[in-house]
Chains A and B, each alone.
Chain A
């Protein structure tokens, strides 16, 4: 039975195959499996992820003068210059399908490790499958805090999770309060899937611990046709800070509805997701000037991380948009994974796992604002500092933490 994998991402595949034809004796390609939702509501995330991975593969397989792992030199030196390629599977946002595709990639596709997956629910089954087959799974953009607490050895997350993100927000609030700004009341506005629930739980806990009053905690049904009544309640509560945890469609509807009902929140502190998507800012960016969102990445990092500009340029050439919170983590995640394979000098799952566990990369050698990449015993990178970005109408600026900030925050947002 000869199953052919359909390699999608024509340009990069062609480039990689072309490069491999060049030599007489080429080592076998290293295959990494990626799992994303490629159809349905969040399909755009999957499409963008694909571009991010292609950009990373370009850097790995060709030689670039950048201070990033595997940039210099073609392919993986530890495996005799082997090229890396990626196979993408569609999990359609369903944990069962995620597991089936992970199994298929591992058993049929012979991938040496997995990366994914945006939806945290699917990450649960993928990470468990990876554990069962003893193949590392790198959680590029899943933010649920429960994932690294499953007691898995093959789970690695270089980026921050919801509790860390929310902590950054509250650290920022504390600083503003010390400066004399009024931040007493908060309004939580979150959708009802895992993302919204985890986010609001973290925010609720921090608010209680640090003495902020939650005057509205509105859980709404994701993809609702109308949010008028919900926004009505936000308007009535009129908190000092509105804290939304929403995906793109809901975020757009939220802002439009607030505008229609004449509600201008004093400040908005968003939990990323929809608030970091280009489509959102194209649609309603003019109405939310001054909104702050937590993020894992910002373009003005270029000042402190020299590779950012070049990588963004490469990514933009493929996708037509700038790197954002998700695509930057996906890009970096693939580099980290390939780097581990390189250091392991093998495609054996256990050896790659050991190499990942031994990762110790300084933040300057990444495109992220992280201090460094070093995984704890549970697979979580504790030095994955999040940043807070403020939207100025035409671009984002980093306003927190101090070591990454390029500007003072404009607070409050309105009035």
Chain B
């Protein structure tokens, strides 16, 4: 793509993101229903988490199904710091993020030599080990979990009794941040190396060490942001226990939006979250109460249909529409808005 068309594409992406962010920020003005606000918070949170996952999984091609461990590290780190030392969650989440990043580096070193499914299963196994360790670690609450004592509404403690707006804005900010980091990566030397490496094994050989180091950095970055998500979640729910923040279902739910939306793309995770999370919540709420498994059936079918109907992800659908629109313009350079 010629340089000025590329620069234009980059600016367009930034513009679209800004517009979307503003629209979402304005949503709560019309959206008063507490339940829907809750769904919005979860959607934004998963969009951010999936965007972080995508850095490692999508751009680097290292599919992790064990990201719940970083999520849990973030949740536990900030909660323990808060309940035992009174440290505000804002610092707690940075501490959790740093810890998660360090652990990602320690794990990355031996694991990045593993290919494909071996790597994925190693991540699952590590996350399960973390889960079992937390269940058996009494200082951190063990199976009984930790409850965040509630006090008055406060930004410092990131705690609000009924008001969902602060959480919405935090989650929105978080989602924007992770999107922005992905945007930066796309036009960075790491991004180029990774794309080269994904397409060409020989290039991988010659770029060897340098690529390895950048993958480690990707892992650390991905873990850092995932942990921040965990800290946020802990503050949001005010109660954590091992199963609810380190379970396998989280690892899947973090990766799923990226896959459904388009793995390795800029918009994929957000798009995927937009479709998947409301679906998950609404089927459970409106069909789950019967106990007949109807909500599971619907949820499973929808995942199957989406992943089969559009295996490249939903962004390819959007790109298709985009291309159709662009090719109607007479003076267009380049192949359109898809990447």
Contact = CB atoms under 8 A, between A and B. Distances in A.
- In the complex, are there CB atoms of A and B closer than 8 Å? yes
Interface of A: 1, 3, 6, 8, 38-39, 43, 46-47, 50, 87-90, 92-97, 99-101, 103-104, 107-108, 121, 124-125, 128, 132-133, 144, 146, 150, 192-194, 196-198, 219, 221
B189 interface: no
B325 to A, nearest CB: 32
Contact of B243 (A97, A99, A144, A193): A193
A47 B241 contact: no
Interface in B255-302: 281, 284-291, 293, 295-296
A99 B288 contact: no
23 contacts: A6-B290, A8-B291, A39-B291, A39-B296, A46-B291, A87-B289, A88-B290, A88-B291, A89-B288, A90-B295, A94-B244, A95-B237, A95-B239, A95-B244, A97-B284, A104-B35, A104-B38, A121-B243, A192-B135, A192-B143, A193-B243, A194-B143, A197-B144
B144 A198 contact: yes
Contact of A133 (B162, B240, B243, B287): B162
A150 B147 contact: yes
B132 interface: yes
A146 B147 CA distance: 11
A101 B296 CA distance: 17
Contact of B284 (A6, A92, A125): A92
B239 A125 contact: yes
A6 B144 contact: no
Interface of B: 33-35, 38, 132, 135-136, 142-145, 147, 150, 161-162, 233, 236-241, 243-244, 281, 284-291, 293, 295-296
A6 B289 contact: yes
- The 3 lowest CB-CB distance pairs between A and B, nearest first, are A90-B288, A38-B291, A104-B35
A10 to B, nearest CB: 9
Contacts of A39: 288, 291, 293, 295-296
Nearest to A89: B289
A99 B143 contact: no
A349 to B, nearest CB: 13
Report which residue of B233, B285, B295 has the largest number of chain A beta carbons within 10 angstroms of its beta carbon. Answer: B285
A92 B281 contact: no
A7 to B, nearest CB: 9
Nearest to B285: A104
Contacts, number: 107
A128 B33 contact: no
Contacts of B285: 89-90, 100-101, 104
A100 B162 CA distance: 12
Contact of A96 (B34, B150, B244, B286): B244
A201 to B, nearest CB: 9
A49 B290 CA distance: 11
B244 A128 contact: no
Contacts of A99: 237
B133 to A, nearest CB: 12
Contacts of B237: 95-96, 99, 125
B38 A125 contact: no
B132 A221 contact: yes
Contacts of A1: 33
Given A107-B33, A197-B143, A128 B289 contact: no
A194 B241 contact: yes
Nearest to B237: A96
Given A101-B285, A103-B38, A128 B243 contact: no
Given A94-B244, A107-B34, A124-B147, 5 more contacts: A38-B289, A90-B288, A95-B239, A107-B35, A196-B143
A149 to B, nearest CB: 11
Given A88-B289, A89-B288, A192-B136, A103 B241 contact: no
Contact of A38 (B142, B143, B281, B288): B288
B162 A132 contact: yes
A90 B282 CA distance: 11
Contact of A90 (B33, B142, B239, B284): B284
A339 B289 CA distance: 25
Given A128-B238, A132-B162, A221-B132, A90 B289 contact: yes
B289 A103 contact: no
B319 to A, nearest CB: 33
Contacts of B136: 192, 219
Nearest to A44: B291
A153 B272 CA distance: 41
A121 B284 CA distance: 19
A96 B39 CA distance: 12
A188 B233 CA distance: 35
A43 B291 contact: yes
A108 B142 contact: no
Contacts of B161: 132
B125 to A, nearest CB: 15
A48 to B, nearest CB: 9
A50 B162 CA distance: 29
Given A92-B284, A192-B136, A100 B35 contact: yes
Contacts of A197: 142-144
A93 B249 CA distance: 12
Given A38-B288, A89-B289, A107-B34, A194 B144 contact: yes
A87 B33 CA distance: 19
Nearest to B236: A96
A288 B145 CA distance: 34
A104 B34 CA distance: 7
B35 A8 contact: no
A80 B289 CA distance: 29
A100 B281 contact: yes
A192 B287 CA distance: 30
Nearest to A34: B289
Contact of A125 (B33, B238, B281, B289): B238
Contacts of A96: 233, 236-237, 244
Nearest to B161: A132
A57 to B, nearest CB: 15
A9 B136 CA distance: 40
Contacts of B289: 6, 8, 38, 87-90
B244 A121 contact: yes
Contact of A124 (B142, B145, B284): B145
B300 to A, nearest CB: 11
A350 to B, nearest CB: 16
B251 to A, nearest CB: 15
Contacts of A128: 150, 238-239
B280 to A, nearest CB: 10
A144 B239 CA distance: 15
Contacts of B38: 100, 103-104
A178 B38 CA distance: 58
